[in-house]
Structure 1
Amino acid sequence: MSAVARRYAQAVFELAREESKLPKVVDDLTAIAAAYQSSSDFRDVELLPGLTEDDRSGVVETIAREAGAGDLAVRTVSMLAARKRLAILPDLVEQLAELADEALGVLRAEVSSAKPLDSAYRSRLQKKIEEATGKKVVMSFTEDPDLIAGIVTKIGDRVVDGSLRGKLSELAESLRQT
């Protein structure tokens, strides 16, 4: 992640917190960044010859407003476009989300399972993680048939591997060392 993206994220974070709009700004910029990443036309706004700083800024501002973004998010992407820095938007959003999570006492957990997990299991797992950490947990779930059975949970930089694949790997490693 670039130092420039971190500086912009810190500035947006402080403004959003002052305005008591942190979750809204994070959501708005996340949606705009997703649109930026999925649309080559959006990404090419900076490259179009003959567009002035005001033109670039205006085009991006229109896109953001049509997406329902609030004023701070609109001003942020408009400024990035004017300065030809839209490419840092995904990194800015990632850093901003981390700052917001920390400020709001939120942890993000990624859970991979061999098969789909039912909602009751998901709720129990979320509750256990919240009890263990004392923080609100936002969960995301993916399926990975290579796990064979069980789950792998990633919370920040910590990974808890409760999968059969993980257990078999541990067993194979211990057999190699004997």
Structure 2
Amino acid sequence: MATSESSGVAERYASALFDLARDQNALDDVESHVTTLRQMISESDDLRRLLESPVFKAEDQIRALDAVMQSHGVSGLVANFAKLTARNRRLFALPDMLKAYGDLMAKHRGETLAVVTSAEPLNDEQLETLRRVLSEKTGGTMKLETIVDPSLIGGLIVRLGSQMIDTSVRTRLQGMRQAMKEAA
């Protein structure tokens, strides 16, 4: 969870990246690289440790991050942006910065962003059904961002702004455990 300090940092950095991308007519290209980098971070415990640990020197973080980004085709403004955050010792806030950029892009396009977490990847038909249902509920264009978290076991967690709908099996099991503890 972002602290208010890292949240402010994330929004300022994301805004700067957005402005630079807009000035260079590269909004969509930057968004594509941001999405790739966000996916890399969500899928790699080692990469998250690299971002979060203050133990690593900035030069070592930059070198490691550069190698990982090159191997996944992340380049240009986004690669330079990520290295700048490392140089400025703000790498811990990079995930929040990338999310804030996505939020700015959604707002730029007039979309509402829903973050959908599922135990397994959703297929195209499931995504389209979810997009349609959420669009009907909100009355606007819906953009879905998907995250896979096998620990959910099944079901979904949908975050739409400050609203969260949690139908995950993990949460239901936790509720049952709590109810059983209270009954004992």
What does 1:62-141 correspond to in 2, within 5 Å?
62-109=67-114, 123=128, 126-127=131-132, 129-130=134-135, 135-139=140-144
Distance, in Å, in 2 between the alignment partners of 1:56 and 1:122 is: 36
From 21, 43, 53, give the equivalent of 2:49: 43
Cα distance 1:64–1:140, how it changes in 2: closer, same or farther (>3 A)?
Answer: closer
Deviation by residue 1:113-168 (Cα, 9 ceiling, x = unmatched): 9xxx99767645634654675643124689539xxxxxx9753335689xxxxxxx
Q: Report the CA distance between 1:104 and its aligned residue.
A: 1.3
Distance, in Å, in 2 between the alignment partners of 1:31 and 1:112 is: 17
From 20, 25, 31, give the equivalent of 1:20: 25
Q: Report the CA distance between 1:112 and its aligned residue.
A: 8.9
Cα distance 1:34–1:129, how it changes in 2: closer, same or farther (>3 A)?
Answer: closer
CA contact (8 A) 1:110 1:140 kept: yes
CA contact (8 A) 1:101 1:107 kept: yes
CA contact (8 A) 2:33 2:75 kept: yes
Q: Which letter does structure 2 place at the counterpart of 1:79?
A: L
Distance, in Å, in 2 between the alignment partners of 1:76 and 1:4 is: 13
CA contact (8 A) 2:106 2:143 kept: no
CA contact (8 A) 2:113 2:161 kept: yes
Q: Which letter does structure 1 place at the counterpart of 2:29?
A: K
CA contact (8 A) 2:41 2:48 kept: yes
Q: Which letter does structure 2 place at the counterpart of 1:44?
A: L
Q: Report the CA distance between 1:102 and its aligned residue.
A: 0.4
CA contact (8 A) 1:33 1:89 kept: no
Q: Which letter does structure 2 place at the counterpart of 1:137?
A: M
What does 1:149-168 correspond to in 2, within 5 Å?
155-158=160-163
CA contact (8 A) 1:35 1:42 kept: no
Aligned residue pairs, count? 149
Q: Which letter does structure 2 place at the counterpart of 1:43?
A: R
CA contact (8 A) 1:36 1:43 kept: no
Please tell me whether Structure 1 or Structure 2 has the larger radius of gyration of its CA atoms. 1
Aligned residues: CA RMSD = 3.8
Partner residue, 2:178: none
Which ranges in structure 1 are unaligned for 5 or more consecutive residues? 146-151, 162-178
CA contact (8 A) 2:50 2:61 kept: no
Name the % identity.
25
SS of residue matched to 1:47 = coil
Normalised TM-score (structure 2): 0.59
Distance, in Å, in 1 between the alignment partners of 2:96 and 2:21 is: 17
